[in-house]
Chain A
Amino acid sequence: MFSNNRTGWLLLSPTILILILVGLVPFFYVLYVGFFKWNPLAVDPSMQFEGFGYNYRQLIFDEVFLSSIWRSIRFAVVTLFFELSLGFLLALSLLSSFPLKSFFRGVHTLPLVIAPIVVGSIFKLFTVQGLGPLPHFLKDFFGYTLNYGLNADQAFWMIVIMDIWHWTPFVTLTLLAGLSALPQDPYESAKIDGANNFQIFIYITIPMMVPVLIVVIFIRLMDSLKIVDEVWMLTGGGPGYATRFTGIHIWKEVFEKRFYGFGSAMSILYLYITIVICWLLYSVMVSRGKSEN
């Protein structure tokens, strides 16, 4: 029966159909719209063809868009650095036993299941001027004024802190899963040879963890480049352009200014950049996996 491919295709067809409908068709449609000048709020609200490169030519000189991509990448790298170092430390600490460990671990898992938009709300309530305890506390004890509604640097770093709060547990738990699955023999031989903990970490743990680390980096970068919800809730992309990541920028251009053609070109370029970054990491992941088997 398994040689009868018709049954197989029949089982697969609804999945393929839905993914074509909501994945592939929108992709080709946005590619198509990207070749047109189309702004329903303009004097002429119809679609006008102005040459294939029309929107893209404008786009590569659009400093706001380019800086939003640069900002997204900077954000992804900065958060990755902090989450990876903190998560690794915590994962290592979870290997030893200490009181209340399972409780601590359970609480640590909590942020992972909370919706990004709710995380944004939680942080808004906690840090907003005039309500949140954090600005009050910083003012009273350190004389530091926290008002990310006005201060661009504070806004960016507030988002970074929120992302660390939200996603470090993911890094911790994934690395912990990887660490617990490591073979013990190399550790024993290293100890017999008189290696200290630091040497063991650098020369044994890190090299053996590379496959898991790549998975973590891949998933975290992929998700950081997508970030919209939390930022929208906390700062709305402001003040100025301080937290206007690419996703938010596209939203504003498309749904506030109704630049459909231009927005489509942006979407395509955004998609392209994300896919290139993901694809690079994915091929590293696959080639490492192959060389190990």
Chain B
Amino acid sequence: MKIRKIISKISTTILWSILTLITLFPIYWMVLVSTRTPVELFGKPNLSPTFFQKIHWKNFTKPFIDGIYSDYLLNSIIVATSNAALVTVLALMATYALSRFKLPGSESIFFWTMTNRMAPPAAFMLPLFLLFSTVFKFGDFALFDTKIGLILLYCVFNLPFAIWLLKGIIDGIPKELDEAMIVDGASLFTVFWKLIIPLAAPGIAVTSLLSFLFAWNEYLLASTLTSVYARTIPTGLSEFVTTTGTNWGTMAAVALVSMIPALIFLFLVQRYIVAGLTFGAVKG
């Protein structure tokens, strides 16, 4: 029995080692490509970690210092941060309303917000493109190719998700606490500031970080609804596809840089990721 246990332990470890290798190897290769010159990439793939000896920094400086990718990066940061902030504030308000008030039809509203997350973005790109460029116009200002447009747009999938995630948390705060504060003469703002936000702080942090990540990673809508001024880093990445004679090193460098928030994020909220991705339907 004991030998069997040891064997199963060893085989599990081997299985997971192979899996880890499969997960990391393509990423490792991307890092290698991002540090090499086109000549070094020619011919038989060299898998040794040459970045310890020499890094071809031009792959990074060419897009981000000489090129336009620093603008893309800045756009991505602005759009994802603003969207996360907006979504968190709005979702907190909406969730509080859905959780505390007996609004007629609040169940249907809750369900309706979620259907927005289910819809495939590809079905919405044409109407959004037409609306943003021709209909949603205020004088000379159209939403097409603006950061504001993207910030509002990403609410479609981030708000439902944030409301779903926060609802479980706010429902868990006893209603009596709010009522006691209000009886003592506190305003709704004070209730939020002194009670709800401190008690729901971890949940709020997870919600805003995941919203940031989803906004940062979004590609399809960003690529159809921007052309010059509001392009984000994922759209910049796709520009490498059509270019004839792709510069693989630069492409790998851009992909690597755009992965950084994801990596930081992984350390911060690894524990909550299951609850986040399953909409809180399964607790991680």
Interface residue ranges, A against B (CB under 8 Å): 1-3, 5, 7-9, 11-12, 14-16, 18-19, 21-23, 25-27, 29-30, 33, 90, 93, 96, 98-101, 103-104, 106-118, 121-123, 125-126, 131-133, 136, 165, 170, 173-174, 176-178, 181, 212, 215-216, 219, 222, 225-226, 228-229, 232-233, 236, 246-248, 250-251, 254-255, 260, 263-264, 267-268, 270-271, 274-275, 278
A173 touches B273 (CB 8 A): yes
Q: Are A114 and B116 closer than 8 Å at their CB atoms? A: no
Q: Mark B240-284, 1 if CB is under 8 A from A, else 0.
A: 110000001001100100110011011000100111011101111
Task: Give chain A residues whose Cβ lies under 8 Å from the Cβ of B234.
Answer: 115, 117-118, 229
Q: Is the beta-carbon distance between A15 and B251 smaller than 8 angstroms?
A: no
Across the interface, A271 reaches (CB within 8 A) one of B9, B123, B131, B241, namely B123
> What's the Cα separation between A60 and B193 when bound, in Å?
55
A sample of 19 inter-chain contacts (CB < 8 A) reads A11-B97, A12-B93, A21-B152, A99-B13, A104-B19, A108-B19, A108-B20, A113-B266, A118-B255, A126-B29, A133-B45, A177-B275, A228-B121, A228-B219, A236-B241, A247-B120, A247-B121, A247-B220, A267-B122
CB neighbours of B112 from chain A (8 A): 19
Contact B266 A110 (CB under 8 A): yes
From B54-62, B67-75, B153-161, B197-205, the one touching the partner chain is B153-161
Chain B residues near A14: list those with CB within 8 A: 90, 93-94
Q: In whole angstroms, how far apart are the Cα atoms of A231 and B100 in the complex?
A: 44
Chain A contacts for B91, CB-based, 8 A: 15
Known A-B contacts A106-B270, A251-B122, A271-B123; the reply to A131 vs B153 at CB < 8 A is no
Question: Are the CB atoms of A228 and B90 closer together than 8 Å?
Answer: no
Report chain B residues within 8 Å CB of A178: 282
Distance in angstroms from B20 CB to nearest chain A CB is 5
**B123 lies within 8 A of A270 (CB):** yes
Tell me the minimal C-beta distance from B156 to chain A in angstroms: 5
B124–A114 touching, CB < 8 Å: no
The interface residues of chain B lying within 8 Å CB-to-CB of A101 are 16
Contact among B25, B182, B283 for A1, CB-based, below 8 A: B182
How far, in Å, is A91 (CB) from chain B's closest CB?
11
Question: Which residues from chain B sit less than 8 Å from chain A, CB to CB?
Answer: 8-9, 12-13, 15-17, 19-20, 22-27, 29-30, 33, 41, 44-45, 47, 90-91, 93-94, 96-98, 100-104, 109, 112-113, 115-116, 118-131, 135-136, 152-153, 155-156, 159, 163, 175, 178-179, 182, 188, 213, 216-220, 224, 234, 237-238, 240-241, 248, 251-252, 255, 258-259, 262-263, 265-266, 270, 273-275, 277-279, 281-284
| Cβ distance B12 to chain A, nearest Cβ, rounded Å | 5
Q: Are A215 and B122 in contact (CB under 8 A)?
A: no
Question: Once the chains are docked, how many angstroms separate the CA of A109 from the CA of B109?
Answer: 33
**Closest partner residue, chain B, to A235 (CB atom):** B241
Min CB–CB distance A84 → chain B (angstroms) = 14
Which chain A residues border B241 with CB–CB below 8 Å? 232-233, 236
Contacts of B100 in A (CB 8 A): 2, 8
Give complex CA distance A12, B216 in Å.
26
Given known contacts A15-B159, A22-B152, A219-B279, what 6 new A-B pairs fall within 8 Å (CB)?
A11-B101, A112-B273, A222-B118, A247-B122, A250-B122, A254-B125
When chains A and B are docked, how far (Å) is the Cα of A98 from the Cα of B15? 11
Q: List the 3 closest pairs (A to B, CB-CB), nearest first.
A: A8-B101, A247-B122, A115-B217
B152 — which chain A residues lie within 8 A by C-beta?
18, 21-22
Q: Which residues of A contact B33 (CB under 8 A)?
A: 125, 131
CB distance from B212 to the nearest CB of A (A): 11
Do the beta carbons of B252 and A125 come within 8 Å of each other? yes
The answer to whether A22 and B155 have CB atoms under 8 Å apart is: yes
Task: Give the distance in Å from the alpha carbon of A1 to the alpha carbon of B187 in the complex.
Answer: 10
Q: Give the docked Cα–Cα distance between A136 and B216 (Å).
A: 34
Asked if B103 and A5 sit within 8 Å, CB to CB, the answer is yes
Residues of B near A118 (CB, < 8 A) are: 217, 234, 237, 255, 258-259, 262
The one of A21, A30, A122 that contacts B123, using a Cβ cutoff of 8 Å:
A30
CB distance from A2 to the nearest CB of B (A): 5
**Cα A103 to Cα B13 with chains together (Å):** 11
Q: How far is the CB of A284 from chain B (nearest CB, A)?
A: 13
Contacts of A136 in B (CB 8 A): 44-45
Is B126 touching A22 in the complex (CB atoms < 8 A)? no
Q: Given A93-B15, A109-B273, A117-B237, are A264 and B127 also a contact pair (CB < 8 Å)?
A: yes
Residue of B nearest to A89 (CB): B15
Contact present for B282 and A215 (CB under 8 Å): yes
Question: Which listed residue (B136, B216, B283) contacts A177, Cβ 8 A?
Answer: B283
